[in-house]
Amino acid sequence: MLNDQPPARDAVQTWMVQYIASVIDVAPDDVVLDRDFREIGMDSAEVVIMTGVLEEEFALEVRAELPFEHPTIAAFIDALAEKGLVAA
């Protein structure tokens, strides 16, 4: 982590939902937190790009494999929280 204080979990989740909604061209309310990234229309390249933008947006260092090991928004954010990269 590059910051002293991790970003709020809700802020990261909101950012991810908005980011994914813009990529797959749906309303943010249509993005389901517990559906696999592939099922909601994100291919692996888009997930990698999203993770890189997330790192820049929130000044985080995220292992490249993490979103593939935890392939839903909810699971990915839970993993970030477990690693102390986001605050509750």
pLDDT digits (tens, 9 = 90+) for 13-52: 999 999 999 999 999 999 999 999 999 999 999 999 999 9
Calculate ∠ Cα 26-17-48, nearest 5°: 100
Q: H or E element: which one contains 16?
A: helix 9-24
To the question of pTM greater than 0.85 for the whole model, the response is yes
CATH of domain 9-82: 1.10.1200.10
Give the residue extent of every domain in the chain: 9-82
Q: What is the pLDDT of residue 21?
A: 98
| Mean pLDDT for the chain overall | 94
Residue 88 has pLDDT above 90, yes or no: no
Q: What is the pLDDT of residue 42?
A: 96
Cβ atoms 66, 51 nearer than 8 A: yes
Cβ atoms 62, 85 nearer than 8 A: yes
| Number of C-beta neighbours around residue 28 at 10 A | 13
